[in-house]
Amino acid sequence: MRAVSGDSIPIAATIAKARAGGQRQSALVARRDGSYRFRPAARTIAMPPLDPTALAAKTPVIPVLTIERVADAVPLARALVAGGLPVIEVTLRTPAAIDAVRAIAGAVPDCVVGVGTVTKAADIAAAVDAGAKFLVSPGTPPALATALAQAPVPVLPGCATVSEAMALAERGFAVLKFFPAEPSGGIAWKAVAAPLPNLKFCPTGGIVAQNAASYLALPNVVSVGGSWPAPKDLIAAGDFDRITALARAAASLGGRRTDDGRRT
């Protein structure tokens, strides 16, 4: 697929046209002339709801995954779903990441697979093309915020300060990744709920089994992200049973959010 860096306007126009027409979409692909179209597919998927609050509320914990081998992707996703964590984030930190997302999206229908470590516009097209159901960025400089605002799937843009959170709120983002959570103040982020009551957060970075519940108890936290349910060493060892056990423990944290924001 062609690189699309710095060329988000044709993508935005294509997505806007599809949304306006209520079009069902599959992959977003580049034409030779630099414009974009949705590739017709035998089995198209419905346009996902643009509601990151509902997405984040589906689970108390979003596993943040670093996948080195594509062959690990499907058993890993199945192990996490079996443990009760159906929403997973595959980070763009390895050459295998995009193929891993494509494999999961094709083989594990009850898994909501998203793409994390999105740092540039080209990542958005590649992720959506592979079947990503949501996108996550570690931080969100203005050009990336513009591109993410046009994405056809829910987005959790990253922020680490109140000013960054406010800038993202101005662009209409409602649920933000707070990253890196522990070095950036940890559960003291609760204080942001008073001046910014309409913003919700998914803190990640330094969150582990021992402190996750404290974050989940905060009124402005919908879910947390972290690598602890599927650490790299267990993935490398192919110890998917242990990953299911860690996922089960993580899934039991904090209950689930109801539509009005309560945890059950």
Contacts with ligand 3PG by CB under 6 A lie at 64, 91, 116, 138, 179, 204-207, 225-228
Q: Please say whether the beta carbons of 189 and 155 come within 8 A.
A: no
CB of 93 to ligand 3PG, least distance (A): 8
Q: In this structure, which amino acid lies at residue 128? A: V
Q: What's the CA gap between 14 and 166, in Å, rounded?
A: 28
The continuous run of DSSP H or E covering 8 comes out as: helix 8-20
Residue closer to ligand 3PG, measured from CB, 70 or 207: 207
E strands present in the chain = 27-30, 36-39, 61-65, 87-91, 112-116, 135-136, 155-156, 158-159, 175-178, 200-203, 224-226
164 noted as active-site residue: no
Residue 137 φ/ψ region, left for φ over 0, alpha for ψ in the -120 to 50 degree band, beta for the rest? beta
Residue closer to ligand 3PG, measured from CB, 114 or 205: 205
89 noted as active-site residue: yes
CB of 34 to ligand 3PG, least distance (A): 32
Q: What's the CA gap between 108 and 95, in Å, rounded?
A: 21
**SS3 at position 5:** coil
Q: Which of 120, 133, 177, 200 is catalytic?
A: 177
Q: Which of 68, 89, 164, 232 is catalytic?
A: 89
CB of 220 to ligand 3PG, least distance (A): 18
**SS3 at position 34:** coil
Q: What's the CA gap between 72 and 155, in Å, rounded?
A: 25
Residue closer to ligand 3PG, measured from CB, 150 or 227: 227
Residue closer to ligand 3PG, measured from CB, 131 or 205: 205
Residue closer to ligand 3PG, measured from CB, 36 or 254: 254
CB of 197 to ligand 3PG, least distance (A): 25
Q: What's the CA gap between 134 and 150, in Å, rounded?
A: 12
| Residues in CB range of 87: below 8 A, 6 or more apart | 55, 56, 58, 59, 62, 111, 112, 114, 134, 223
- Report how far apart, in Å, the C-alpha atoms of 217 and of each of 59, 99, 201, 214, 254 are: 14, 36, 12, 5, 7
CB of 114 to ligand 3PG, least distance (A): 11
DSSP 155: E
Residue closer to ligand 3PG, measured from CB, 105 or 212: 212
CB of 206 to ligand 3PG, least distance (A): 5
The residues that are catalytic are: 89, 177
